[in-house]
Amino acid sequence: MKFKEKLSEIRNQASPVQTVSRLFLSHAENPKNLGELEAANGMAVGVGSCGDTLAVKLLVAKGVIEDIKYLPNGCLYTVVCASMMSEIAKGLPVDEALKLQPEDVDTLLGGLPSDHLHCARLAVNTLGEAIEDHLCRYGFPDGLIDRMVEN
């Protein structure tokens, strides 16, 4: 085999380059809210269709997500999606945080490859499960049900 044939063969085997947004790179290089939350009062562990796992812990006070931390075990896309999700959810009332959709994370990150959209679903679904855990354990704050019914 000649050199040019070898290069052509390798080039044909290579995956196409996926471009990512600056925001994606920012979350990849410096994930936000990564870590453990000792004072959590809501938590969940989600498992993605690829086998990645994501633990999400919340500190909710008066119906507002005051702090959020996550621990991922998976690919870079799972880390980035969890980081983006946590940035959005932090400071929101739980009823507003429940409105977050995987498509929101995908759009804000500038679009994910189709084979990694499930990472956004994992992040958002695990957030919802952590909120559910908190509400099941501590009940619904005053006015929350009314706000959820209105929306």
Instruction: Classify residue 24: in a domain, yes or no.
Output: no
Instruction: Classify residue 138: in a domain, yes or no.
Output: yes
pTM of the model: 0.84
Helical (H) or strand (E) element with 61: strand 53-61
Instruction: Classify residue 86: in a domain, yes or no.
Output: yes
Beta-bridge mates of residue 44 = 56
Of the candidates 37, 143, 49, 149, the one whose C-alpha atom is nearest the C-alpha of residue 86 is 37
Instruction: Classify residue 91: in a domain, yes or no.
Output: yes
Written as six digits, the tokens of 92 are 């929101």
Predicted pLDDT of residue 141: 72
Of the candidates 21, 49, 31, the one whose C-alpha atom is nearest the C-alpha of residue 116 is 49
Res. 143: pLDDT tops 80: no
Predicted pLDDT of residue 10: 62
Radius of gyration of the chain (CA): 19
pLDDT (tens digit per residue) in 85-130 = 999 999 999 999 999 999 999 999 999 999 999 999 999 999 999 9
Q: What DSSP character marks residue 68?
A: E
